[in-house]
């Protein structure tokens, strides 16, 4: 008889609820994720400032805004006591 964890769906192994505690590995990954988005946001802003082509400038600005939204969304979820159910 196989015991199944109620936090995981049976077939795909997807967590239905986040764990109560974040592991060190998960915390380091969150840190990396925030760093990657922050760096991408800064680079896109730098390129947009130095770009002469209006279409490229707009694309870099949109890219930077996207990474900023991702950064803020991850940070919001890390600062809340609610489960990550709203994370998309």
Question: Is the pTM higher than 0.75?
Answer: no
* % of the chain beyond a pLDDT of 70: 78
13-24 pLDDT, tens digit per residue, is 787 877 778 889
Determine the 3-state secondary structure of 52 from DSSP: coil
Residue 81 pLDDT: 60
Residue 80 pLDDT: 74
The span from the CA of 81 to the CA of 79, in Å, is 7
Cα→Cα distances 39→16, 18, 27, 85, Å: 31, 27, 18, 27
Which residues, 6 or more positions from 24, have their beta carbon under 8 angstroms from its beta carbon? none
Residue 62 pLDDT: 98
Of the candidates 77, 63, 88, the residue with the CA atom closest to the CA atom of residue 34: 77
Residue 83 pLDDT: 53
- Could you list the mean pLDDT of each consecutive 10-residue stretch along the chain, which spans 88 residues? 49 75 88 96 97 96 97 88 52
């Amino acid at each position: 008889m196989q015991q199944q964890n109620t936090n995981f769906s049976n077939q795909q192994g997807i967590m239905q609820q986040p764990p109560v505690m974040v592991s060190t590995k998960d915390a380091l990954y969150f840190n990396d994720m925030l760093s990657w988005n922050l760096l991408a946001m800064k680079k896109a802003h730098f390129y947009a400032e130095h770009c002469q082509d209006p279409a490229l400038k707009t694309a870099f600005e949109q890219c930077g805004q996207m990474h900023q939204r991702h950064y803020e969304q991850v940070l919001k979820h890390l600062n809340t006591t609610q489960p990550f159910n709203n994370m998309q």
